[in-house]
A and B are shown apart, each in its own frame.
Chain A
């Protein structure tokens, strides 16, 4: 067990300020039309950056052993499989969409 703090107050304060700046930035960007889906990209990139800061510093992962990284990585890797697998299916099979399905059913009923 350590009796010395892992992260300095200065570092915590810097991370906190950066998180506030990111929050202001993402809110401001939402009011500007970047077009072509870039608003989504910007908002999610900033969200990921904020999450990384919280994980590395507030949750001490930067100063933790490799096993912690393995479990953290496993969580997000499985999330990626979940989102990636489902969206790949949804994107490439339009017949899955409720809209298409109901239209198909109507055509069939006729």
Chain B
């Protein structure tokens, strides 16, 4: 029995069909993820349309530079993830493990910066709730901006944490020689997930950090 046979579930004709099913299944899941985040983006758009002025001034309380640095960090992690898949395709397990590790490290750097940002928001009383403080008559509307900020970046961060968990599992599997140039579907699909989370941030960065600077 060849090594390829080992990783074929009995209800598939051949490894190609098995791979095609996993691949398209992941895309169906990502389409539902687009819908999931889409609801929040739609809510943001409506309130931004109604409260443009408040959203602009509230947005200026976010640190553009930390947002930009985190964008670079996350794009970098997508690059290392792409290289992990590249090495999986080539069957180079050692390089695969290193790039998975690097992706995790960059993911943790992103979360660290995010944690610092959240901390400053708590210190500045910009977290929605009873201790929320915002100068001017638009305080209530600014509070809504920060509700969206925490809901959207928070849900994004949860996705990152799940992604780091998946990457960790991949490293353990790779160490047990679970993957080869002939079978690396889990690496490929986790890559798709990681890139999706990157794309969500690519939109969150301008919408939350940049759009407020000039109406």
Q: For chain A residues 60-90, which have a beta carbon within 8 Å of chain B? A: 64-65, 67-68, 71-72, 74-76, 78-79, 82-83, 86-87, 90
Contact A6 B38 (CB under 8 A): no
**Given A5-B90, A43-B210; A97-B50 close (CB under 8 Å):** yes
Contact A40 B34 (CB under 8 A): no
Contact B30 A75 (CB under 8 A): yes
Number of A residues, CB within 8 Å of B: 57
Task: List residues of chain A with CB within 8 A of the CB of B75.
Answer: 16, 19-20, 23
Q: Which residue of B23, B35, B86, B213 is within 8 Å of A30 (Cβ)?
A: B213
Task: List residues of chain B with CB within 8 A of the CB of A33.
Answer: 214
Contact B206 A43 (CB under 8 A): yes
Interface locus among B77-85, B125-133, B159-167? B77-85
Say if the beta carbon of A27 comes within 8 Å of chain B: yes
By secondary structure, the B interface counts as: helix
By secondary structure, the A interface counts as: helix
**Given A12-B86, A23-B72; A31-B213 close (CB under 8 Å):** yes
Say if the beta carbon of B118 comes within 8 Å of chain A: no
Task: List residues of chain A with CB within 8 A of the CB of B213.
Answer: 30-31, 39
Task: List residues of chain B with CB within 8 A of the CB of A44.
Answer: 206
The chain B residues found within 8 Å of chain A, CB to CB, are: 4, 15-16, 19-20, 23-24, 27-28, 30-31, 34-35, 38-39, 41-42, 45-46, 49-50, 64, 68, 71-72, 75-76, 78-79, 81-83, 86, 89-91, 181-183, 191-192, 195-196, 198-199, 202-203, 205-207, 209-211, 213-215
